[in-house]
Amino acid sequence: MQNSVLFRTAPRYSGRLIQRPFILNQARFDGTTFANRPIMSALTDAIKRDHSVLNEYYEKIVGTDDLDTQTRYQNLFTWELARHSIGEELVVYPAFEKHLGAKGKEMADKDREDHQKVKNVLYKFQSMKAQDPEFLKTFQDLFKDLKEHIKDEENNDLPALERQLDSDSSDGYARSFERTKLFVPTRSHPTAPDKPPFETVAGLMAAPLDKLMDVFRKFP
pLDDT tens digits, 154-182: 999 999 999 999 999 999 999 999 999 99
- What is the tens place of the pLDDT at every residue in 66-75? 999 999 999 9
pLDDT range class, residue 191, cuts 50, 70, 90: low
Structural domain total, the chain: 1
Percentage of residues in the chain with pLDDT exceeding 70?
75
- Whether 25 maps to a domain, the answer reads no
- Whether 18 maps to a domain, the answer reads no
- Indicate which CATH number applies to the domain containing 192: 1.20.120
- Whether 24 maps to a domain, the answer reads no
Question: Model-level pTM?
Answer: 0.79
DSSP 8-state assignment for residue 40: G
- Whether 203 maps to a domain, the answer reads yes
| Angle value at C-alpha 55, between 51 and 59, nearest 5 degrees | 170
- Whether 108 maps to a domain, the answer reads yes
- Whether 28 maps to a domain, the answer reads no
CB 90 within 8 A of CB 183: no
Burial-class residue 128 by CB neighbours within 10 Å (0-12, 13-18, 19+).
middle
The residue range of the domain holding 175 is 40-214
